[in-house]
Amino acid sequence: MVAITFCGALGAVLAGGIAWWLLPRYGWRYFVGACAVPAILVFILQFFLIYESPRFLYISGNIAAEEEMVQYFEIILFSGEITCPPSERRGRILDLFNSTLRKRTFFITLVWFVQAFGYWGVTFHLPEYIGSQGVDPYFNMFTVFIGELPGLCLAMILIENHMLGRVKCLRFFSILTSISLILFGFVNVDFLKAVFVVVCYFFMVPIYSILNTFTPEIYPTDVRSTALAWVNIVIEIPAMISPFIAASMLSSTVSWLYPTVWASCFMLQFLLELGLNLETAGQDLKDTTLKNVDGSTSTTTSL
């Protein structure tokens, strides 16, 4: 997932470069048209290149399609028999709040919420804020997107179990995002402001990819896609609210207000991540959530 986000960061660099080149010369219409081209290509390619995973097909009971997919890719995903039974009941949000999963759902939901609140708060009006501080907004946004790339490379290294792992990696990037935003808000030198906003994105963007890696791993297969759907619903709420809050702060005469408010979001995210104690790096994935005789729930592991 971190590697996939790296590809997204390359797209952000491309968009930033196009904006730097087209917007001052030709206006927003040409910029929007240029940005639409990759989306059209993706729409066409998805009909040929997107497949369900063998693991999902098996847990869904579609054994024939699963075996066909394994043979198609010519890879060995497991040895022996798969022990997890196909799930007859999948896709219920309430399953995320059973006695086994309730605590992790609570904390991961809050982490995703605060992360989205801070990310969109920083990003949505950042060009206007940078411009108000005397920095070229188009060029600086281009350099900001370039700054994401080494941050994602660092995340790909630190996220492994022999390094920091998932949870400590989240805490590391969250606290340093908060610190870089505070420094960005209080330095008065234009060059240093430009540097610290790049440093901010160096640490902030990998958080999303780490969460996208970690979240599916803490849920069994029969509710994994439901969990991802749930957090993606949740993050739409701060995505709608934070741009209005950010816009209201742009009119403030207090120059440090904009970055420090969002720095507090990432500090809060760091504190919430202290409640995540389930490390998944190097661990087996869970396949199903089962009902025990006494009514409690448990998970089984295979693969």
pLDDT in tens, 128-177: 777 776 666 666 666 777 777 788 888 888 888 888 888 899 999 999 99
| Short-list 147, 121, 209, CA closest to 16 | 147
Q: What is the band of 9 on the pLDDT scale with cuts at 50, 70, 90?
A: low
- The secondary structure of residue 79, as a DSSP letter, is S
Q: How far is CA 187 from the centre of its chain?
A: 29
- The secondary structure of residue 51, as a DSSP letter, is -
Torsion angle of alpha carbons 73, 44, 8, 2, nearest 10°? -20
Distance CA 272, CA 264 (A): 12
Distance CA 237, CA 12 (A): 23
Range list of H helices, 218-256: 221-234, 236-250
- Residue 160 one-letter amino acid: E
At residue 293, the pLDDT reads 30
- For residue 29, count CB atoms less than 10 angstroms from its CB and return exposed for 0-12, middle for 13-18, buried for 19 or more: exposed
Average pLDDT over residues 31-39: 82
Asked if pLDDT for residue 207 goes beyond 80, the answer is yes
Name residue, tokens 């081209």.
Answer: 37
What is the pTM (predicted TM-score) of this model? Answer: 0.69
| Strand ranges, E, within 24-101 | none
Q: What is the mean pLDDT of the chain?
A: 76
Asked if pLDDT for residue 64 goes beyond 80, the answer is no
- The secondary structure of residue 115, as a DSSP letter, is H
Exposure letters 238-256 (e unless 16+ CB within 10 A, then b): beeebeebbeebeeeeeeb
pLDDT greater at residue 6 or residue 281: 281
Average pLDDT over residues 69-80: 51
Residue 32's contacts (CB-CB under 8 Å, 6 or more residues apart) are none
Name residue, tokens 């411009």.
Answer: 131
At residue 264, the pLDDT reads 92
pLDDT greater at residue 253 or residue 234: 234
Average pLDDT over residues 209-237: 86
The enclosing H or E element of 298 equals strand 297-301
Total Cβ atoms within 10 A of residue 55: 20
